[in-house]
């Protein structure tokens, strides 16, 4: 059993699989660590289609998309430690020591020069959005419902209310209906839906599932099992108006109210996190502030398309390999400063020494029309782009050539300005 690796990738979801393949192609010795029994990450349960349009030019289901990545890793003979749980992550010398456990090896350690954290994200829960009442059975996050239906073959409820119009919520609405449950409605506290238009049409309209905007769930009724929920209209500041609440009978409340990148395992390393994204602050190589640590996928920031997750995995895997093999220069960082209508942008800094092209992902903080994006350093504008419309659920991707930046640029400004309700 090989103990010393150039690169270890934590998490064998789409980001990790892509990172491992890229690191291998760049000449690094790489292995994957995965806590579940099969690789593929959350894609295993995302049985709907629509994945891969950007990367493969075709519409794949989640398992099909994952399968391509798994096959790519298998062809390269990259080992995957499945059902293996990372207990401790420590720096040692100029590398890392990973202490892990699984059934076969009990407790064992691997070392790596570079680490790619591809740990994905978790779902926000009912209590975290302050839904009150008792705690009966039948309150689930959309991902849990998805696992129960698509992996285990269990129907969690017969009469469901869905809170949150994020894509998983919309997709689970359709999935529940297809499996014989009734969906009373999808409730969204914001005045506009969070999910992709495609899903609004094909998951809700196709099945006559009502969408209630500016409405939220404030209370769960029932003692042993959910018996209903109280739904309330919300004002423009997203505050529920309790006087106008009404009861919707149901046996299940499904929550699709946001995702939180999981980086808890990295905290002992002293990783710097971006409070906006919940992921590490990285440069265009997706290198975090801890030397040799790289981040990608939904652990870096929550993506809307898996294609971008894979792309970030490739970038991180390649960069981790270069680092591990001693092919990188000491970094020369310039901050990438978002301005105007930007909710967040990744990366947060640019390594001018590394050069090359930087893939920048960004989200608008509101729906805007006729939006103008400019990237400038000092007096020099290096990129201009226009968008007819930008919505927060949809991530934008731009490519910036660092060669266009003036030498010695201290900070690079990323500015987005648009018109309301474009």
Residues 242-261 that bind other proteins (CB under 8 A): 251
For other proteins, which is the closer residue by CB, 157 or 348? 157
Residue 349 CB, nearest distance to other proteins (Å)? 24
Question: Cβ 386 to other proteins, closest distance in Å?
Answer: 13
* 251-310 positions binding other proteins, by CB under 8 A: 251, 264, 267
For the chain, report the end-to-end CA distance as a whole number of angstroms.
58
Q: Using an 8 Å Cβ cutoff, are 321 and 294 in contact? A: no
> Least distance from C-beta 332 to other proteins, angstroms?
32
- Options 128-136, 161-169, 313-321, 403-411: segment touching other proteins (CB under 8 A): 128-136
Question: Looking up tokens 């109280």, which residue turns up?
Answer: 230
Closest distance of CB 406 from other proteins, Å = 34
Task: Kindly indicate which of the ranges 102-110, 287-295, 323-331, 350-358 contains the residues binding other proteins, using the contact rule CB under 8 A.
Answer: 102-110
363 bridge partner residues: 344
CB of residue 148 to other proteins, shortest distance in Å? 6
Please say which residue, 65 or 323, places its beta carbon nearer to other proteins. Answer: 65
Contact pick of 57, 104, 403, 407 for other proteins (by CB under 8 A):
104
Q: Least separation, in Å, of the C-beta of 100 and other proteins?
A: 10
Residues 83 and 35: beta-carbon distance below 8 Å: yes
Q: In terms of CB distance, is 180 or 330 closer to other proteins?
A: 180
- Which residues, numbered 157-176, are part of the site for other proteins (CB under 8 A)? 157-158, 175
Pick the closest to residue 409 from 336, 315, 323, 342 (CA basis).
336
Instruction: Tell me which residue has tokens 């456990």.
Output: 101
Q: Which 21-40 residues touch other proteins, going by CB under 8 A?
A: 35, 37-39
Residue 107 engages other proteins in binding (rule: CB under 8 A): yes
- Site pattern 326..345 for other proteins (x: CB under 8 A): --------------------
Exposure string over 140-170, b if 16+ CB within 10 A, otherwise e = bbbbbbbbbbbeeeeebbebbbbbbbbbbbb
74 binds other proteins (CB under 8 A): yes
- Residues 6+ away with beta carbon under 8 Å from 295: 116, 117, 118, 263, 266, 279, 280, 282, 286, 288, 316
Kindly state the DSSP code that residue 406 receives in the 8-state scheme. Answer: P
Q: How far apart are CA 251 and CA 246, in angstroms?
A: 16
Closer of 246 and 380 to other proteins (Cβ):
246
User: Are 96 and 84 a contacting pair, CB within 8 Å?
Assistant: no
Residue choice 4, 58, 83, 339 for contact with other proteins (CB under 8 A)? 83
Task: Work out how close the CB of 154 gets to other proteins at its nearest, in angstroms, rounded to a whole number.
Answer: 4
Q: Give the burial class of 37: count Cβ atoms within 10 A of its Cβ; 0-12 exposed, 13-18 middle, 19 or more buried.
A: exposed
Contacting other proteins within 174-233 (CB under 8 A): 175, 178-180, 196-198, 200-202, 206, 218, 223-225
List C-alpha distances in Å: 142 to 136, 193, 375: 17, 16, 37
Q: Cβ of residue 320: shortest distance to other proteins, in angstroms?
A: 20
Q: Which helix (DSSP H) or strand (DSSP E) does residue 307 occupy?
A: helix 306-324
Is residue 111 within the footprint of other proteins (CB under 8 A)? no
Site membership for other proteins, residue 365 (CB under 8 A): no
Number of residues that bind other proteins (CB under 8 A): 81
Closer CB to other proteins, 225 or 385, in the complex: 225
For the bound state, the minimum distance from the C-beta of residue 72 to other proteins, rounded and expressed in Å, comes to 13
Classify 394 in phi/psi space as left (phi over 0), alpha (psi -120 to 50) or beta.
Answer: beta
| Closest separation in Å from C-beta 252 to other proteins | 9
Helix (H, G, I), strand (E, B) or coil at 44: helix
HSE on the CB side for 27, CA within 13 Å? 6
**37-56: contacts with other proteins (CB under 8 A):** 37-39, 44, 47-49
Q: Which residues of 384-420 are buried (b: 16+ CB within 10 A; e: fewer)?
A: eeebeebbbbebbeeebebeebeeebeebbbbbebee
125 touches other proteins by CB under 8 A: yes
CB atoms closer than 10 angstroms to residue 113: 22
The nearest distance, CB 328 to other proteins, in angstroms, is 29
- Residue 47 vs 337, nearer CB to other proteins: 47
With 0-12 / 13-18 / 19 or more C-beta atoms within 10 angstroms meaning exposed / middle / buried, residue 24 is buried
């Amino acid at each position: 059993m090989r103990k010393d690796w150039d690169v270890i990738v934590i998490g064998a979801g789409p980001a990790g699989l892509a990172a491992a393949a890229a690191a291998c192609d760049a000449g690094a010795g790489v292995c994957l660590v995965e806590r579940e029994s099969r690789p593929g990450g959350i894609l295993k349960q995302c049985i709907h289609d629509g994945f891969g349009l950007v990367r493969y030019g075709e519409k794949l289901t989640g398992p099909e998309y994952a399968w391509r990545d798994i096959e790519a890793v298998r062809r390269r003979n990259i080992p995957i430690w499945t059902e293996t749980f990372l207990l401790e992550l420590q720096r040692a010398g100029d590398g890392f020591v990973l202490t892990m456990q699984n059934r076969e090896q009990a407790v064992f350690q691997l070392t790596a020069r570079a680490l790619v954290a591809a740990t994905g994200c978790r779902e926000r829960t009912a209590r975290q959005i302050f839904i009150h009442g008792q705690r009966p059975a039948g309150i689930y996050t959309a991902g849990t419902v998805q696992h129960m239906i698509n992996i285990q073959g269990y129907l969690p409820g017969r009469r469901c209310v869905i809170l949150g119009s994020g894509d998983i919520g919309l997709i689970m609405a359709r999935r529940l209906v297809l499996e014989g449950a009734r969906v009373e409605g999808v409730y969204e506290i914001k005045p506009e839906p969070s999910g992709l238009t495609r899903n609004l049409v094909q998951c809700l309209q196709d099945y006559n599932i009502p969408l209630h905007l500016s409405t939220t769930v404030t209370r769960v009724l029932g003692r042993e099992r959910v018996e209903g929920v109280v739904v309330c209209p919300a004002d423009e500041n997203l505050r529920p108006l309790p006087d106008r609440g009404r009861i919707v009978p149901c046996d299940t409340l499904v929550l699709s109210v946001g995702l939180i990148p999981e980086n808890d395992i990295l905290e002992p390393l002293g990783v710097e996190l971006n409070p906006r994204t919940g992921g590490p602050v990285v440069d265009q190589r997706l290198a975090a502030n801890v030397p040799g640590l790289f981040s990608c996928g939904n652990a870096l920031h929550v993506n809307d398309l898996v294609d971008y997750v894979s792309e970030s995995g490739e970038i991180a895997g390649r960069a981790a390999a270069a680092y591990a093999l001693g092919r990188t220069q000491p970094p020369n960082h310039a901050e990438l400063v978002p301005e105007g209508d930007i909710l967040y942008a990744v990366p947060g800094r640019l390594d001018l020494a590394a050069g090359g092209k930087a893939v920048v992902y960004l989200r608008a903080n509101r729906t805007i029309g006729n939006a103008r994006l400019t990237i400038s350093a000092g007096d020099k504008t290096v990129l201009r782009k226009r968008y007819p419309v930008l919505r927060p659920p949809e991530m934008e991707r731009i490519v910036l050539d660092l060669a266009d930046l003036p030498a010695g640029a201290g900070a690079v400004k990323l500015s987005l300005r648009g018109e309301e309700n474009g």
